[in-house]
Chain A
């Protein structure tokens, strides 16, 4: 597990403009291994934008992001290997089965051992969806498959954008428990969500973004 090499992620003075609108104005955050930060704020306050900036998908106008004290832009590929990103969209090919989707997306990052995909889906309570095309799964089931991708990435930092969207109560409890186990193993998580995540055994810090 890469978590052993991870100690801290910090973002300092992040400023992002979209056209003539300032989406993020000097936002800073920090999360050490074992910590979870809940990013909240009204719609349009820049929660997704902040996660995309941390992931390196969006370049900020100002500010820097450091992982273990090192600028994440200095080695983009190494940085990408140390986090898993759950975006708004599930990132699944509708024509491929849950197994094929996960084998491909996890396989791009690391060598997948036999049975891993099946175990992850079973942990999320959707073992029966393994060979069904993603197009035939419900929105909640697709969210669970997308979350399985985050689990399988074996990355110490999880960037989760609305992880509870479309999940039923059981699903939310499962996901919270899995995030809790990830934190226990020395991982960290940045969670953008409207509801505060109830992670068993862990207190989450909040970062509120203004509209």
Chain B
């Protein structure tokens, strides 16, 4: 009998979560529909004028993406907690922070990545010029990654609470503010033809920080919640 290697265990968790998402595609679609709805409502309520849309577009895009990815976060560990599979994962004898990282990456793949892929269509509706699309996608890819990492900590901390979703928002959104500021700024710069390099680099640094520091924090939070 040979023990499962760390990387094989992480890949197992990642693949299982993708399989579960595939069997629950409605849950995957929910944040996307929310993202589409919110970004459609703003032009209807404010003004469909192109100059106005371009002014507010980056903000709308980013706030909507942030709230949409928050929607899927609550379920990140909750269903595993309820059916007891989380407990078995805690006892698997594998580094919990690594398994938590795998779950975070799977969450980003099923929640963040589809938002990124959908963003050019939404951005077109908000009058974002074609030249700025790469920045929209890149900034959202980094931003949703940051939110997945921060959100996983919040999700793990609020696991044992009955109405944890509100608290989850209160915990995560303030921490996500710097990402929102730099992300929206990057898109704004790109729309006006300036280089978005500065804010994008800052977002990348934030992502590296979040992905490095979040897994041990998630693991500790999961152990506390499991008690």
Contact = CB atoms under 8 A, between A and B. Distances in A.
Interface of A: 1-2, 55-59, 77-81, 83, 85, 87-96, 100, 104-105, 107-111, 149, 154
Contacts of B8: 107, 111
B49 interface: no
B84 A2 contact: no
Contact of B93 (A78, A91, A111, A149): A78
B227 to A, nearest CB: 5
A57 B84 contact: no
B110 interface: no
A89 to B, nearest CB: 3
Given A100-B19, A110-B2, A57 B227 contact: yes
Helix, strand, loop or mixed for chain B's interface? helix
A110 B1 contact: yes
Contacts of B91: 55-57, 80, 83, 85
Nearest to A111: B2
A105 B85 contact: yes
A2 B1 contact: yes
Interface in B63-103: 83-85, 87-95, 99
B85 A108 contact: no
Contact of B23 (A89, A95, A109, A111): A95
Contact of A91 (B19, B85, B227): B85
B95 A77 contact: yes
A1 B1 contact: yes
Contact of B87 (A81, A87, A93, A107): A87
Contacts of B88: 85, 87, 91, 105, 108, 149
Nearest to B79: A93
Chain B interface: which size bin? 20 to 34
B16 interface: yes
Contact of A93 (B9, B13, B85): B85
B83 A93 contact: yes
Contacts of B93: 77-81, 109
8 contacts: A57-B91, A85-B88, A90-B83, A90-B84, A91-B83, A92-B83, A95-B23, A107-B9
B20 interface: yes
Interface string B3-44: 110001100110010011001100000000000000000000
B208 interface: no
Given A1-B1, A81-B3, A95-B23, A58 B85 contact: no
B50 interface: no
A89 B3 contact: no
A88 B83 CA distance: 10
B226 interface: yes
B227 A59 contact: yes
Contact of A110 (B3, B13, B227): B3
Given A89-B84, A110-B1, A110-B4, A95 B90 contact: no
A104 B12 contact: yes
A142 B15 CA distance: 23
Contacts of A100: 16, 19
